[in-house]
Amino acid sequence: MKITYHGHSSIQIHAGGKSLMIDPFLRGNPKAVTSPQDIKTDAVLLTHAHTDHILDAEPIAKHNGAPIVAAVELADHFANKGLETIDINIGGTVDFGFAKAKMVQAFHSSGITLEDGSVVYGGQPGGYIVQADGFTILHPGDTALFGDMKMIGDRYNIDVVFLPIGDKYTMGPEDALQAAEWYGAKLVVPIHYDTFDAIRQDAELFVQSLEARGMKGKVLGIGEQLSL
């Protein structure tokens, strides 16, 4: 298995010659090194409806003939545009054949910003536990710290967790350290930081803090690939 970090919260999981793209945000990310047209994927998974997580879902899905997987209300939004969708909700699992993705809860908000600037309900936010090639990957989505992270860690043998550390809109580094302990993943990768000034953080310091607590962390550069 290989995982590509595309910046912000965008990760792509490659397994069995296929891939899943989670929360594509490339055109709006000033630090992105990849365009939507460059992405080859078999499905687009969305954790919630905020623009910095869904901006490039439509062009990537169209370019690849791939379905968009999202909470029911967000899936309906894209289905109304004529796109192929797979609607899901917290606790549900989608089996792609080469991988399974289960939606787990996140504590956040979720609204679709329309072209006129109005916002409509985007369904409940979530994260995804992806199992493929014998590995378990957790993308928890944008979330605050919550106690059931420990339950998720107890139930699943997580190989890699991608944790938001930006603060203001998600957990900050201190809460993310607690989340890392509860998830118990073999490797922790920080995400959702530095894209904008409001979420600027020292990711290397966060990894050092992980290591001081006996956990393993890694800062991935934008466009960098992790091999498992």
Domain annotation for the chain: domains and CATH numbers:
2-218 (3.60.15.10)
Mean pLDDT to the nearest integer, 35-59: 98
CA distances from 36 to 73, 211, 213 (A): 24, 35, 38
> pTM for this one?
0.98
Sign of CA dihedral 39, 43, 46, 47: negative
How do beta strands 68-71 and 43-45 pair? parallel
Mean pLDDT to the nearest integer, 6-25: 98
Paired with 130 in beta bridges are 101, 137
What's the pLDDT band for 209 if we cut at 50, 70, 90?
very high
| Selection from 146, 73, 137, 71 nearest residue 106 by Cα | 146
Question: Could you please report the per-residue DSSP string of 52-75?
Answer: HHHTTHHHHHHHHT-PEEEEHHHH
- Alpha-carbon distance of 164 to 140, in angstroms, equals 8
What's the pLDDT band for 62 if we cut at 50, 70, 90?
very high
Mean pLDDT to the nearest integer, 4-10: 98
Residue 90: per-residue pLDDT? 98
Region of 94 please: left (phi>0), alpha (psi -120 to 50) or beta. Answer: beta
Contact at 8 Å (CB) between 11 and 164?
no
